[in-house]
A and B are shown apart, each in its own frame.
Chain A
Amino acid sequence: MSTDIASRVTKKVDIRNKRKLDGKGQFWLVFRYIALSILFVIAALPIYIMVINSVKGITGVTQSAAFIPPTKLDFSAWGPTWDQLKVPMGRTLFFVVQSSLISAVIGAINGFVFAKWRFKGSTAIFTTFLFGMFIPYQAIMIPLTQFNQWAGIGGSIYVLVFAHVVYGIPICTLIFRNYYAAIPNELIEAARVDGAGMVRIFRTIFLPLSIPGFVVVLIWQFTSAWNDFLFAIFLTGGSPDLAVATTALNFITGSGNQVYYGNNMTASLIVSIPTLLVYLFLGRYFLRGLLSGSLKG
């Protein structure tokens, strides 16, 4: 269960071998900290470069000094970059909020049914849903574009709302199913004895308990839709009127002018800020979503 898996990762453990904290134990402790610190430097390096080079001005990034923080902060790359990005980022926010909310509602309903209101064949159907999580979206992209034209949403930002909702069904259902599976059946039985129907049980008992589940799904859908590039580039066909954060960023940085590294780094950082903030403040929920995708522990 996802909730279990995530709390296992974050739980405080201390199962060191206490009998052996002698010289050898000390050595291993120091060794672990050194190794962890090296890995920390590697993990942090790409974002470090982005941050320090974004405050050196548009062309102030000299090649050999790129690893060194600037002596004085120069935010001159931020203004023009933000001007290029604000409309696409606003557009992204517009569709991401909608697709995440719709996905969460669908996920909650499906998850409840697959966890607590099973019917004959529901497990098999759930498994066929899960396959949808693994498919390469290339395999549906050609008919999907044609469908969008036919449905009249081709050429509007709603193609992305639609795509993220539909192809988010498997993961959102899975997260909620795992979440609800951890809630004891006795709650349902007690309510049933009192004459409540399943819909009412869902509404009055499960929904109020679902806040963490909703946070996990909203964060997951928000992050994956915000960072999505494949749907964006296929379904909007690179049209500037429909540019979203990632495609606009790719347009800026992909034009490949090395002189403007300050500009490119700043643009990449600006586009990353929303998801980084979410990760910073709600990382635990992000971890839960991530581990739900692994199906089991």
Chain B
Amino acid sequence: MKVKKNRVHSPWGGFFFVLPSILAMAVFVYGMIGYTVRESLTNRTNAWETEIKFVGLTNYRDLLVDPEFTHALSNLLKFTIVFMIGCLLSGLIMSLLLEKGIKGEGFFRSTYLYPMAISFIAMGTSWRWLMDSARDADATGLNYLLQKIGLGFLQSDWYTSEAGSMYAMALPAIWQMAGYVMALFLAGFRGIPDDLREAARVDGASEFKIYRHILFPQLSPTFLTVLIILGHISMKVFDLIFGIATKSYVTKVLAIYMWQVIFDFQNFAAGAAIAIVILLMIAVAVIPYLVYVNKTEEANK
């Protein structure tokens, strides 16, 4: 049979079909980021500014000496550290408890993951109540529960305290994301061939040594993925904090401050500059990661 010349044999046929998406990404992701950068370099610091001119890095320099901004930045970093460590540990523990297989695994796994299906705004109601700062006789939520189980000395102001607010705010965040981390680690563990483990057991290695020397080293790509995912989510955190504490000063992070600067102060140039700061903090981690993923995929081809 004669092979018919394909109508769309051209290697560029595919390009034609993704062209609309390429244009959309070019305009709405990269173009708009460019526009925001440009905005951040202007003097549009209030809604009635009509004579727009470029002022260089002035807005960024102003941010550096803006106490609200540095406060929000340091809050964000505190939150990020506790959130990332907490998620990593709890996700890892969940996956360690499940990875060898156990009766009822599906049930536990589904329960640990369901928070991912609910909006932060909805869960904020529960968490706001759980983390109510009233103590002792007036206590509700977690403070009440702590007294009941004899840990009354652990009662806390939670997210309303000056010093501990961001650590408290990390709790609902960990609660929401730990199941996701668990799923990633489970996938990692179960991607390791069983023979490796069996061989080590035959050689008489203890279970602890098997984890330490055989399984964990195999999980390093998973660790990297988890760090990138948690890191970028943390940098962007908005709904979670807004849902619990709205614009409260003690829990202000960059995304909340940006929203306030735009809507309450109509300072578009400063808002744009804050957005670009968030973007840069994400980009320094994500771009090398994407390049690395791209390379390993090319190598596996």
Contacts and interface: CB of A to CB of B under 8 A. Distances in A.
A276 B117 contact: yes
A205 interface: no
A211 interface: no
Contacts of B99: 13
B82 interface: no
A169 B24 CA distance: 9
A165 B274 CA distance: 25
A276 B114 contact: yes
Contact of A295 (B33, B282, B293): B293
B50 interface: no
A139 B278 contact: yes
B112 A43 contact: yes
Given A63-B140, A136-B255, A138-B258, A296 B221 contact: yes
A178 to B, nearest CB: 11
Contact of A119 (B14, B108, B125, B291): B14
Contacts of A139: 32-33, 36, 275-276, 278-279
B118 A276 contact: yes
Interface stretch (A71-79, A93-101, A141-149, A152-160): A141-149
Q: Is the interface of A mostly helix, strand, loop or mixed?
A: helix
A142 B97 contact: no
Interface string A241-272: 00001100110011000000100110111011
B128 to A, nearest CB: 8
Contacts of B126: 46-47, 49-50, 265, 268
Interface stretch (B64-72, B152-160, B161-169, B189-197): B189-197
Among A123, A142, A230, the most chain B Cβ lie within 10 Å of the Cβ of A142
* Size band of the interface chain A makes with B: 35 or more
Contact of B290 (A32, A127, A169, A283): A127
A142 B271 contact: yes
B100 A113 contact: no
A137 B239 CA distance: 12
B48 interface: no
Q: Is the interface of B mostly helix, strand, loop or mixed?
A: helix
A9 B186 contact: yes
Nearest to A193: B3
A268 B180 contact: no
B113 A64 contact: no
Contacts of A221: none
Contacts of B113: 279, 283, 287, 290
A46 B175 contact: yes
Contacts of B98: 36
Nearest to B12: A119
B79 interface: no
B242 interface: yes
A128 interface: yes
Nearest to B107: A40
A82 B88 CA distance: 38
A261 B31 CA distance: 45
15 contacts: A8-B190, A17-B207, A32-B97, A36-B97, A40-B108, A129-B21, A138-B278, A143-B35, A166-B24, A197-B9, A198-B14, A228-B119, A253-B124, A287-B183, A297-B191
Identify the 10 closest CB pairs spanning chains A and B, nearest first: A117-B14, A227-B119, A195-B4, A279-B117, A46-B126, A138-B275, A113-B14, A140-B32, A13-B101, A143-B35
Interface of A: 5-6, 8-17, 19, 29, 32-33, 35-36, 39-40, 42-47, 49-50, 63-64, 66-67, 106, 109-110, 113-114, 117-120, 122-125, 127-132, 134-144, 147, 166-167, 169-170, 173, 192-193, 195-199, 223, 226-230, 233-234, 245-246, 249-250, 253-254, 261, 264-265, 267-269, 271-272, 275-276, 278-279, 283, 286-287, 290-291, 293-297
Interface of B: 3-4, 6-9, 11-15, 17-18, 20-22, 24-25, 28-33, 35-36, 39, 90, 93-94, 97-102, 104, 106, 108-130, 134, 138-141, 144-145, 172, 175, 179-180, 183-184, 186-188, 190-191, 194, 197, 201, 207, 221-222, 225, 229, 232, 235-236, 238-239, 242-243, 246, 255, 258-259, 262, 268, 271-272, 274-276, 278-279, 282-283, 286-287, 290-291, 293-294, 296-298
Given A106-B20, A117-B13, 12 more contacts: A9-B109, A125-B18, A129-B25, A139-B275, A197-B7, A246-B122, A250-B243, A268-B122, A271-B122, A272-B119, A275-B119, A297-B188
